[in-house]
Structure 1
């Protein structure tokens, strides 16, 4: 893999990359950055956790002109959490490029705070589609001088029903802008957007090769009713994970499980879509800082969580589809570290479990937990 010191970018960018602790590019960064710097458009398919933000962030920050106080680059993404994460990363990349301003706009945050930030004339805006359309209607964001546009997690964004919103936004961009899309999968909707709005894009694909696959030991536990909570508590107590991410399928389940764990003395918080954005930001900051050991989340709320040292992912409720299992489990075992994934399932979920195992080609170790709380491997599922 190419090292960042060999990349043809400014000294300010090299200093920012070094400050962030990066030395070697990931595959998607090595493939995408030179192509973007050349001015070519891209459709990139790459697995979650491969460093896509730097793959488009480095060329964008390198190209925007600090002395021109108008919007030059737009990044669209599906969720609030991912929006703030990308904004933080871009600010770090622009750390030594004086005059470059990055603003995030997303639903759930007071409009006044965003209006105040926009008055500083940012060159880069990271946005969710709905809130960006609000600002466009207010004429507080103008897209007529945008030169660079990014759709990040394009498949997730379009799957969430933003297809028409995204088209409304892209229709307002200048025809000569450079547009790139990054996505874990290339869906029909992603292909349609590419056909409608890109000119001769370079297609990039990063496959999850064996050497770069996350090192995750996977377990499954058949458990229901009150025993399910006891089994979870037994795992948390015996394993003593530094940082755990637990997934539930509904907002109610996340809140309920969080309360039960807090009652049992665990440092736990939950994250779901009904929470105020200020609370979500506070919880995420505490989780990243290691002040919260256990975060319980729904799948939508967890999109955009980028924490490299999650020791374990626990599927407390069986994922509804195979891709969800893959995305959830991929939150651990990142950045070359090892992780563990535990899947709880009821007897009625056995077919769902077998389907996940076939789809992921996983070796999943069956566990049983005795009434005394002893964790042991079962000889069969």
Structure 2
């Protein structure tokens, strides 16, 4: 009776939920449905599989009291065609009111058929932002009576570059209730939704596996862009007393080549590839050869060119990129001998666009990865660009220039990385390698 007593779902909808086998609501549904029913803007943050889609589908159907008008009152935006079809399937599972007409819009050859379907009447529209915007600009999608505007998988929309159609559609809708469902909420997504979300309730749910995976010690470095990742790697690698043997994982060979060219200028033959792409570049056929070569400190490994690796006795594992497949990451950081003392430390560099992949990894390993402070000496690429612009256009006042005190230090003279005392001690122990 929780669906009825606490969440105030209509009796017909409760019957549909029970028939579908949903005996009790999940946490995200308990914490959002009452707010949705109350008309409040909501930002719901929860991992994949937490029940976000079910929450807003039930909240949407619960709004319809009488025969609908055939004019869209609900617009739901999702990242791609597969998600449109999945949401339509869920509506069909719960909706017993055959008078409610639900239309899906997604990129497919020919736009006229979808416009004709809208013209025949639609109460709920489930669409990708690009197709909804295209039909709206052709005057085929009426947004004048939208009462509920829902964005699902918001982080994936930012990753796919859908900010423009998303913002345009949001700004074209007049006063209504707005809901955002996302795996993670980061700065890029916040900038997109800030203009149209009105004092939203923030609901966040973490669902970790009860039986966690034993891993090496891990630290997460959240940086704004690729250039800053490269600066951070350089800052660490320069300290050859601590970073004696490092395996750097990247998602592609092109990224590996970029890093190689950057590091080779500084540390020469100390950097190499696993299976070098060209014969004139230093490389090894297997990781054992890298371990045995005392002159080599850095091994670059691309995901498309690596199988199972024996990473025992490697002091540092650095994921320059977060793999799209969580299993790839987990296989590398799993500590198969937790009872044996091991000094390996896994460092992961992530941008906003990779945070959803980090979230999936945390779900699977059953633990949060500790977020480390960025080193004070780290050069943030965005600030460098701002500084160069200010040098070209000197300030007209005597007031201090924002960021003027920020300057690049020589990484070789910088040995403090804002680690905790425990982490510093662990790194000091690695000097014996």
Calculate the TM-score normalised by the size of structure 1.
Answer: 0.57
Whether the 8 Å CA contact 2:68–2:123 is kept in 1: the answer is no
1:84 is matched with: 85
1:157 is matched with: 157
Does residue 107 of the first structure (1) align with residue 99 of the second (2)? Answer: no
Secondary structure of residue in 2 paired with 1:165: helix
1:122 is matched with: 122
Distance 2:44 2:206 in 1: 11
Distance 1:190 1:23 in 2: 34
Report how far residue 98 of structure 1 moved.
3.1
Report how far residue 100 of structure 1 moved.
0.6
Secondary structure of residue in 1 paired with 2:179: strand
Whether the 8 Å CA contact 1:73–1:147 is kept in 2: the answer is yes
2:189 is matched with: 190
Secondary structure of residue in 2 paired with 1:168: helix
Distance 2:177 2:51 in 1: 20
1:263 is matched with: none
Whether the 8 Å CA contact 2:4–2:11 is kept in 1: the answer is no
Calculate the TM-score normalised by the size of structure 2.
Answer: 0.50
Distance 2:122 2:111 in 1: 16
Report how far residue 214 of structure 1 moved.
7.4
**What whole-Å deviation, never above 9, does each CA across 1:146-198 have from its counterpart, x for those lacking one?**
00001101011022111111111111101x20001011111112212332101
- Mapping of residues 244-263 of structure 1, within 5 Å: none
- Mapping of residues 54-65 of structure 1, within 5 Å: 54-64=54-64
Q: Which has the larger radius of gyration?
A: 2
Distance 2:146 2:17 in 1: 25
Distance 1:190 1:165 in 2: 14
Q: How many residues align?
A: 246
- Do the aligned partners of residues 201 and 363 (structure 1) sit closer, same or farther apart at CA in structure 2, a change above 3 Å counting? closer
**What whole-Å deviation, never above 9, does each CA across 1:314-344 have from its counterpart, x for those lacking one?**
x988798437334x79xxxxxxxxxxx878x
Deviates most, 124-133 or 192-201? 192-201
- Do the aligned partners of residues 112 and 191 (structure 1) sit closer, same or farther apart at CA in structure 2, a change above 3 Å counting? same
Secondary structure of residue in 2 paired with 1:203: strand
Q: Cα RMSD over matched residues?
A: 3.5
Distance 2:192 2:166 in 1: 9
Distance 1:184 1:50 in 2: 9
Which runs of 5 or more residues in structure 2 are unaligned? Answer: 216-250, 253-302, 307-318, 333-344, 351-357, 367-433
**What whole-Å deviation, never above 9, does each CA across 1:237-265 have from its counterpart, x for those lacking one?**
xxxxxxxxxxxx89xxxxxxxxxxxxxxx
- Do the aligned partners of residues 323 and 74 (structure 1) sit closer, same or farther apart at CA in structure 2, a change above 3 Å counting? farther
Whether the 8 Å CA contact 1:76–1:150 is kept in 2: the answer is yes
1:203 is matched with: 202
- Do the aligned partners of residues 363 and 76 (structure 1) sit closer, same or farther apart at CA in structure 2, a change above 3 Å counting? closer
Whether the 8 Å CA contact 1:13–1:97 is kept in 2: the answer is no
Whether the 8 Å CA contact 2:320–2:349 is kept in 1: the answer is no
Secondary structure of residue in 2 paired with 1:126: strand
Distance 1:123 1:132 in 2: 15
- Mapping of residues 1-381 of structure 1, within 5 Å: 3-6=2-5, 7-64=7-64, 66-94=67-95, 96-174=96-174, 176-209=175-208, 213=209, 321-322=321-322, 324-326=324-326, 355=347, 360=361
- Do the aligned partners of residues 186 and 120 (structure 1) sit closer, same or farther apart at CA in structure 2, a change above 3 Å counting? same
Secondary structure of residue in 1 paired with 2:161: helix
Distance 1:86 1:27 in 2: 20
Distance 1:110 1:342 in 2: 44
Which runs of 5 or more residues in structure 1 are unaligned? Answer: 220-248, 251-314, 330-340, 344-352, 365-381
Report how far residue 32 of structure 1 moved.
0.6
Distance 2:148 2:184 in 1: 22
Distance 1:84 1:33 in 2: 23
Distance 1:117 1:214 in 2: 46
Secondary structure of residue in 2 paired with 1:146: coil
Distance 1:86 1:320 in 2: 35
**What whole-Å deviation, never above 9, does each CA across 1:325-379 have from its counterpart, x for those lacking one?**
34x79xxxxxxxxxxx878xxxxxxxxx955799747779xxxxxxxxxxxxxxx
- Do the aligned partners of residues 62 and 56 (structure 1) sit closer, same or farther apart at CA in structure 2, a change above 3 Å counting? same
Secondary structure of residue in 2 paired with 1:83: helix
Report how far residue 16 of structure 1 moved.
1.7
- Do the aligned partners of residues 178 and 217 (structure 1) sit closer, same or farther apart at CA in structure 2, a change above 3 Å counting? same
Distance 2:32 2:81 in 1: 25
Report how far residue 69 of structure 1 moved.
1.3
